[in-house]
Amino acid sequence: MESFNTYKSMADGVAALMHPHAEVVIHDLKTQEIVYLANNYSNREIGSPSHMDEVEFTEGDRVLGPYRKVNWDGKILKSISVVMRNSNDQAEAMICINLDMSEMNRMHQVLGMMLGAPEEGLKEGKPEENNGKQSEKVDALFRDDWHERINISIQDWLKENGLSLQALGRSQKRDLVIALETKGAFQGQGSANYVARCLGLGRATVYKYLKEQRGSA
């Protein structure tokens, strides 16, 4: 695990350099778990499943992305994943760097209005286009990412109801938990804990809402 100590130092360095905008996540490809988080703002936990077992890394695969993701609070992230290999050239880890683009997007929009330039680049609801085999690998990388599905479901529900996450009352949080349950959001291991952290609820409260909903179904 000496190499993983090196990866962790790299993660801390990138996160420190780009603080507070960058989060760095290290996935162990052997255990398929998250083993380290630097500047964690995605509400994930060490030990959470990585869901990367379906990704086939070829000899030339080193960098995947950049690609767009949605954080739990609705912020748009520009991400890139780097395949880390051991001395036998076997992929042993994946380092994912997530860059919060919200401030840069706002500055870009302001400059665009001032200069009369057309808006380009990363925008909410408009993912960047990735082409070819790399795009397919990125899709496979996050096909089973329930964190991402929950994030998108939360933002869709907030938009449909004209609400913001910060202004939700307890009854609205209960309605959101139930809405997530109807979409099958709680099938992933640790998903209830994740939703509880995102909504600022106790884990027992989320389980209570789910029990009530499942009991009435």
pLDDT at residue 123 in the model: 47
Nearest to 179 by CA among 203, 144, 155: 155
Domain identity same for 178 and 113: no
pLDDT at residue 124 in the model: 47
Domain identity same for 83 and 97: yes
The helix (run of H) or strand (run of E) holding residue 159 is helix 146-161
Domain identity same for 53 and 110: yes
Domain identity same for 116 and 34: yes
Split into its structural domains, the chain has a count of 2
Select from 90, 121, 143 the last residue of a domain.
143
pLDDT at residue 61 in the model: 81
* pLDDT per 10-residue tile (average), the chain, 217 residues: 91 96 96 96 92 69 90 92 91 95 81 65 47 58 73 93 92 95 88 94 94 80
d(CA 3, CA 7): 6
Select from 128, 143, 158 the last residue of a domain.
143
CATH number of the domain to which 122 belongs: 3.30.450
Domain identity same for 50 and 111: yes
pLDDT at residue 125 in the model: 46
pLDDT at residue 134 in the model: 59
Structural domain including 126 reads 2-143
pLDDT at residue 2 in the model: 80
Select from 143, 177, 207 the last residue of a domain.
143
Domain identity same for 107 and 174: no
Domain identity same for 80 and 52: yes
CA-to-CA dists, residue 161 to 124, 155, 168, 177, angstroms: 18, 10, 11, 14
Domain identity same for 77 and 167: no
Domain identity same for 165 and 127: no
d(CA 154, CA 114): 33
pLDDT at residue 57 in the model: 64
